Chains A and B, each alone.
Chain A
Amino acid sequence: MSVKPYGVQYKPGISTSPKISVNDLEAYGIRYVRITWVDLINNIRYRVLSLSYFRRLLESERPGISVPRVVFGLINLQIAEGFAPIGEYLYVPDLNTMRICPYAEGHASVFGWFQEKVPPPSGSLEVELCPRTLLKKVLQYVQFHVIHGVLQL
């Protein structure tokens, strides 16, 4: 006896979650943009930019905000061993993640990528401790090994 699949069927590769375009922020009444990240102890942190400054930032050659490198070594106001209060990363908004925050009228939220301000000798701007970069690299690793037949999903 054949049994029909039950419930809503999902397939990989199809986004189920539309975001808003940066061009539509005014139309949604957005006045502020929260550039948001999560640190390694699961704190959600953000900086609130006025929409006019956010627009100026996007028009710049390398849009991003400066965040101290100690961001991944802070536990409350203590600094974990191996980190120092010196140096900065550039946190670059990923405009594909823009959402309005309906719980905070006039605010939108966007995530990003931590980047080196100046490329190290390797030439890569990627920051190994950036949580979204870490996940992206895991996905790239899995995809590579699936393509080459090492892993099966």
Chain B
Amino acid sequence: MLLKSTEPEIVPVDYHDWSRSNATLAGSVASKVLEEIADCLQTAGLKLEMYHAEAGPGQYEVVTGPMEPLEAADALVFTRETIYNVANKHGCKATLAPRVFDNTCQYGFLGPPMKY
């Protein structure tokens, strides 16, 4: 999740939608951050499969593909570190916290119950 500020309130870089093109418009901070993360991971030797916008505000997903367990754990830590650093270079704060907002989709919460 990419945030443009955390004080005095938590503000995401944008409000988009799931895999929707408005989440990565050319020239937006999010599109620059995402592409730089993708470049960095590949330069470091990780295989990047894809990235896309997730449903929550400022929420994105990076897919690095399957590996053996220990290698995968190392790659996860390296990927997290890459995400935090690249976001910071662009004036953002990246977080993988499960619940940043209380009323919408995020890593640990799929949003309020749907009514059918």
Nearest A residue to B42, CB-CB:
A102
Query: A16-B65, A17-B75, A44-B81 are contacts. A101–B44 as well, Cβ < 8 Å?
Result: yes
Say whether B73 contacts A103, CB under 8 Å. no
Chain A residues whose C-beta falls within 8 Å of the C-beta of B43 in the assembled complex: 100, 102
Query: In terms of DSSP, what is the predominant structure of the interface of chain B?
Result: helix
Residue B74 lies at the interface, judged by CB distance under 8 Å to chain A: yes
Say whether A102 contacts B44, CB under 8 Å. yes
Say whether B68 contacts A19, CB under 8 Å. no
| Distance in angstroms between the alpha carbons of A153 and B74 in the assembled complex | 23
Nearest A residue to B76, CB-CB:
A38
B45 → A minimal CB distance (Å):
5
Cβ-defined partner of A99 (8 Å) among B36, B73, B78, B80 = B78
Chain B residues whose C-beta falls within 8 Å of the C-beta of A138 in the assembled complex: 69
Chain A residues whose C-beta falls within 8 Å of the C-beta of B112 in the assembled complex: none
Say whether B73 contacts A109, CB under 8 Å. no
Q: Mark B34-75, 1 if CB is under 8 A from A, else 0.
A: 001001100111110000000000000000011111110111
Residue A80 lies at the interface, judged by CB distance under 8 Å to chain B: no
Say whether B74 contacts A16, CB under 8 Å. no
Say whether A109 contacts B66, CB under 8 Å. no
Residues of chain A at the chain B interface (Cβ within 8 Å): 10, 12-13, 15-20, 36, 38, 44, 97, 99-104, 109, 111, 131-132, 135-136, 138-139
Apart from A17-B46, A99-B45: 5 A-B pairs, beta carbons within 8 A: A20-B45, A99-B78, A101-B81, A101-B82, A103-B86
